[in-house]
Amino acid sequence: MSDVLILCDEKKRAGGKIVKACVKIRGDLVEKVMISGDFFVDPAEKFEELLQELSNMKLRKDAVVTAVAELLRKKGLEFSGVTIEDILEVLNKILQ
Amino acid sequence: MSGSGILRVLVAEWPENQFFNLAFEEVLYLESKLPTLRFWRNDKVVVIGRFQSPPLEINSLEARDLGIKLVRRFTGGGAVYHDLGNVNYALTLPNHKLSIEESFSVVASAVVEALGSLGVSKAYYRPLNDIEVDGLKISGMAACRTHDRVFVHGAMLVSSDISILWRVLKISREKLSDKKFTQSRVKRVTTVNEVLGRTVSPEELYKAISEALSRRLGLEVEWGAPDNTELRKALNMYKGKYATLEWNLKYVDEVRDLISDEEYEALKAIARPSKHQERFIEVLSLE
């Protein structure tokens, strides 16, 4: 059985808020992605739906950032304090 | 900006049950028909933002040992420590379509004006959601909105024990790399009493903020009290949401392996009402 690894990183947007991300990796697969932080997002419920989807994925490491980017853009979310690019940057740092 | 005539203002607080305080807050957000301003206080609690993960934000063992609770609020933003020296203000505006940034700006400008009327002449709004005096944070705000209303609430440090704040809140690595921050952790914030060099009563603050907001919104202040429907809905919201680990400990499973069993048990202990707090709710339910 592959070992499970949880990796986290964070980014503070200059003059803005912090995004923290953690990924749970088993072998070559990412099983969970968690995005948290002190930002604001509207509509909150849609973001929580997205987090629910991210907590139950089984993707190869190299497919995660693209998948998360697509989900974030599809949900029509309005972030205050961070941007979608900040979130993707943190995920890229973790998964490199 | 003009409103519908009346700004309903109430002092409605249950400091001994922080979970119920947050439940009532959400009921006012969802159900208020009039523009409504609430003032309230919490005793000894860390209130985390809606999208935060508790293990990443709170020193759970420290909080447990200090008798401090943990509750998640329904707005985004960061983790804050409340004690009786912290005054919360919460504004619901039905039939408004302000953005989150706009709503912060409106409320902050009124709160800055209110502080000025008390003698705090150097307060200013620092976007996104802070109010500062001489570079030190004195109040932080959070907000949310739906299709037909906006809501902003803020915490104002009046006489809080700032030393406790730094013991229970985790400071992120990104914040620590900010030179200004590391110069003096304790001096990143200040309190109204410290700035004025005197004790300000909560009532002075309530009067100043309600008058400033009424001028800003073009509404007339009308003092009131919670009605039975609001209290009943708040009790339901408390039982179904704010008193539950399911709500307060969201985003813990994802990082469970990063914390010890003792930390996990401490989180579970602080994120739900104590037996004493449950008895308080039973009494409230009977009234």
Could you tell me how many CB contacts below 8 A there are between chain A and chain B? 89
What's the CA gap between B188 and B138, in Å, rounded? 9
Q: Kindly report, residue by residue over A59-87, the tens digit of the pLDDT.
A: 999 999 999 999 999 999 999 999 999 99
pTM over 0.80: yes
Alpha carbon of A51: minimum distance to chain B alpha carbons (Å): 9
Q: What is the CATH number of domain B6-286?
A: 3.30.930.10
- Residues of chain B contacting residue A8, judged by C-beta atoms under 8 Å apart: 56, 255, 258
Nearest to A25 by CA among A61, A70, A65, A68: A61
B255/A22 CB distance under 8 A? yes
In this complex, the residue of A32, A42, A44 whose CB is nearest that of residue B254 is: A32
Give me B202's structure tokens. Answer: 């909560």
| Average pLDDT value over all residues in chain B | 93
Alpha carbon of B72: minimum distance to chain A alpha carbons (Å): 12
Q: What angle do CA B27, B156, A45 make, to 5 degrees?
A: 35
Cα separations (Å) of B172 from A11, A20, B139? 9, 9, 20
Whether B183 shows a pLDDT value over 80: the answer reads no
Q: Kindly report, residue by residue over B156-173, the tens digit of the pLDDT.
A: 999 998 889 889 999 876
Chain A positions with Cβ closer than 8 Å to B: 4, 6, 8, 10-12, 15-18, 20, 22, 24, 32, 34-44, 47, 51, 55, 78, 80-81
A38/B174 CB distance under 8 A? no
Q: Kindly report, residue by residue over B28-47, the tens digit of the pLDDT.
A: 999 999 999 999 999 999 99
Q: For testing the chain A interface, which of B58, B128, B132 should be mutated: the one with the most A CBs within 10 Å?
A: B128
- Residues of chain A contacting residue B178, judged by C-beta atoms under 8 Å apart: 12
Q: Which residues contact B247 (CB under 8 A, 6 or more apart)?
A: B72, B241
- Residues of chain A contacting residue B127, judged by C-beta atoms under 8 Å apart: 15
Alpha carbon of B65: minimum distance to chain A alpha carbons (Å): 25
Which string of b and e fits B132-160 if b means at least 16 CB within 10 Å? bbeeeebbbbbbbbeeebbbbbbbbbbbb
The predicted pLDDT at position B176 comes to 59
What's the CA gap between B155 and B87, in Å, rounded? 6
Read off the pLDDT band of B3 (50, 70, 90): very low
| Average pLDDT value over all residues in chain A | 93
Give me B177's structure tokens. Answer: 């790399």
| Contact residues, B window 213-242, toward A, CB-based 8 Å cutoff | none
Whether B287 shows a pLDDT value over 70: the answer reads no
A18/B255 CB distance under 8 A? no
ipTM of this predicted structure: 0.95
B100/A40 CB distance under 8 A? yes
Q: What angle do CA A80, A84, A89 make, to 5 degrees?
A: 125
Burial degree of B179 (CB within 10 A; 0-12, 13-18, 19+) = exposed
What's the CA gap between B186 and B229, in Å, rounded? 42
Alpha carbon of B193: minimum distance to chain A alpha carbons (Å): 27
Q: Which residues contact B85 (CB under 8 A, 6 or more apart)?
A: B157, B158, B159, B160, B161, B191
Whether B98 shows a pLDDT value over 60: the answer reads yes
In this complex, the residue of A22, A39, A42 whose CB is nearest that of residue B145 is: A42
Domain range list for chain B: 6-286
CA-only gyration radius of chain A, Å: 13
Q: For testing the chain A interface, which of B72, B147, B254 should be mutated: the one with the most A CBs within 10 Å?
A: B254
